[in-house]
Amino acid sequence: MMTRRTGLAAILAGIGSPALSTDAAAPLKIVYHVGDGVDQAARTMGFMRNQLALPTPLRIIVVAVGPGIDFLITGAKDRNGNPFDATVEDLSRQGIGFRICGNTMSARSISPDAILPEARIVISGMNEIARLGQREGYAYIRP
């Protein structure tokens, strides 16, 4: 008599099976939600660098909202005094997209001129996260 596998055991048993595998050439799509400030942003940068070092094709977009936008403001530094601008520029050159919440900018009276040039302003960061997940199939990560 066969029993039906459920839960994690069933998922792990299916890894690599044709039913659960995807096209290896298709990029893994990830949206990082940064909303807690520069410490979270610094962790996120480290995670993304680690991912970029792997042979997996990736498409990564960072969406910054609330205090999470602070690292995308010109002159922003991490807790050790290291500026974010060079890191953002480097990651952008490697294909990572940066989106910043226009609602947050408006609420905090931040001018678009104060934002790093690699960041694209979207009307609502939370709507952008939802759109990327639902309509474009991005996996959601909030470090």
With a pLDDT cut of 90, the percent of the chain lying above it is 82
Indicate whether 12 belongs to any domain. Answer: no
Q: How many domains, the chain?
A: 1
Evaluate whether 55 touches 91 at the Cβ level (below 8 Å).
no
pLDDT tens-digit series, residues 71-128? 999 999 999 999 999 999 999 999 999 999 999 999 999 999 999 999 999 999 999 9
Range of the domain at 135: 22-141
What is the reported pLDDT for 23? 62
Name 67's Cβ contacts closer than 8 Å, sequence gap at least 6. 35, 36, 37
Indicate whether 79 belongs to any domain. Answer: yes
Indicate whether 3 belongs to any domain. Answer: no
Evaluate whether 37 touches 67 at the Cβ level (below 8 Å).
yes
Of 9-23, 41-55, 79-93, the one with minimum mean pLDDT is 9-23
What is the reported pLDDT for 21? 42
User: If pLDDT is split at 50, 70 and 90, which confidence band does 20 have?
Assistant: very low
